A and B are shown apart, each in its own frame.
Chain A
Amino acid sequence: GQQLNQSPQSMFIQEGEDVSMNCTSSSIFNTWLWYKQDPGEGPVLLIALYKAGELTSNGRLTAQFGITRKDSFLNISASIPSDVGIYFCAGQLTGGYNKLIFGAGTRLAVHP
C-alpha cells in the first residue's frame, strides 16, 4: 500500500527556534494535510494543501505542497512550549473516499 516517509522522527529544540519537517511519498496525492496530536487526543488539522506548488500559512505555521505532488513540508517559526506534540503529514488520493494516508509522525519537544 501507499506509504509516506516523514522526517525527522523526533526533534528537541530551544524555544524560539524555527522547525522544519517533511514528508515524501511514492504516490501522487491530490491533497496534503498536516495534523498535530497531543497526548490522549485525536489529531487536529493544522493546514490543508490542495494544489501543487501551493504555499499556505496559519499563524507561525507554513506548509507547501510539492510541485511533483509527492512531497510536502511544514515549518514552524519561533517555537513556543505549547508547540510540543506529534506532527503528522497525511495525503489523500483522488477517488479514495478521502481516506487519509499518514506518515509516522515527528515528535517535537521544546526546551524553554
Chain B
Amino acid sequence: GAGVSQSPSNKVTEKGKDVELRCDPISGHTALYWYRQSLGQGLEFLIYFQGNSAPDKSGLPSDRFSAERTGGSVSTLTIQRTQQEDSAVYLCASSIVGSEQYFGPGTRLTVT
C-alpha cells in the first residue's frame, strides 16, 4: 500500500518568505509526527498530532512555526518569515498509536 508522502520534495525560498510543507500519512494512522533534520544531524522532534489535535508542540523552535491537521489525515507545517537557519529536511511520520512510525521521504528546504 501507499506509504507516507510529502510535498514538495524540494523547496527553495528567499529569506522572509512563508512556506507550507505537506504530509499525507498512511491511511488509518491517527498519530502524525513532524521532525526536522539539519545537515549531518539526527532528527529533532517538532510536533505530534493525535487526530486533529496536537497535544505535544514542545519541539516547535519558535512562533514562526505552526502546524495543523485536518480530517485526521493531511497535515501542513507552515514556517513564516523564513530564516537561513530554517534550512533543513523536514520529515513527517505516521503510525497507529503506540506502534512503529513510518517516515516519509522528507522535504528539503533551502532558505537563501
Interface residue A11 (Cβ < 8 Å from any Cβ of B): no
Nearest to B31 among chain A residues (CB) is A98
Chain B residue numbers with a CB within 8 Å of A98 are: 31, 48, 95, 97-98, 101
1/0 contact string of A68-112 vs chain B (CB within 8 Å): 000000000000000000001010000011111111110000000
For chain A, the bracket of interface size reads 20 to 34
Interface residue A40 (Cβ < 8 Å from any Cβ of B): yes
Compute the total of residue contacts between A and B using a CB distance below 8 Å: 59
In the complex, what distance in Å separates the CA atom of A45 from the CA atom of B43?
Answer: 14
Instruction: Please judge, given known A-B contacts A42-B91, A42-B93, whether A101 and B105 are in contact too, CB under 8 Å.
Output: no
Interface residue A49 (Cβ < 8 Å from any Cβ of B): no
Query: Which B residues between 42 and 68 are near A, CB-CB below 8 angstroms?
Result: 42-45, 48, 50, 55-56, 59
In the complex, what distance in Å separates the CA atom of A66 from the CA atom of B26?
Answer: 32
Q: Which of B42, B43, B103, B106 contacts A6 (CB 8 A)?
A: B42
Instruction: Please judge, given known A-B contacts A42-B103, A42-B105, whether A101 and B93 are in contact too, CB under 8 Å.
Output: no
A105 pairs with B41, CB closer than 8 A? yes
Interface residue B104 (Cβ < 8 Å from any Cβ of A): yes
Q: Which of A42, A48, A105 contacts B4 (CB 8 A)?
A: A42
Chain A residue numbers with a CB within 8 Å of B50 are: 97
Leading 7 A-B pairs by shortest Cβ distance? A42-B103, A102-B42, A102-B43, A99-B45, A104-B42, A97-B48, A97-B56
Could you list which residues of chain B lie within 8 angstroms of chain A, going by C-beta atoms? 4, 31, 33, 35, 40-45, 48, 50, 55-56, 59, 91, 93, 95, 97-98, 100-101, 103-106
Q: Can you report 14 residue pairs joining A to B where beta carbons are below 8 Å apart?
A: A41-B103, A41-B105, A42-B93, A88-B42, A97-B56, A98-B48, A98-B95, A98-B97, A98-B101, A99-B48, A99-B56, A99-B59, A102-B43, A105-B42
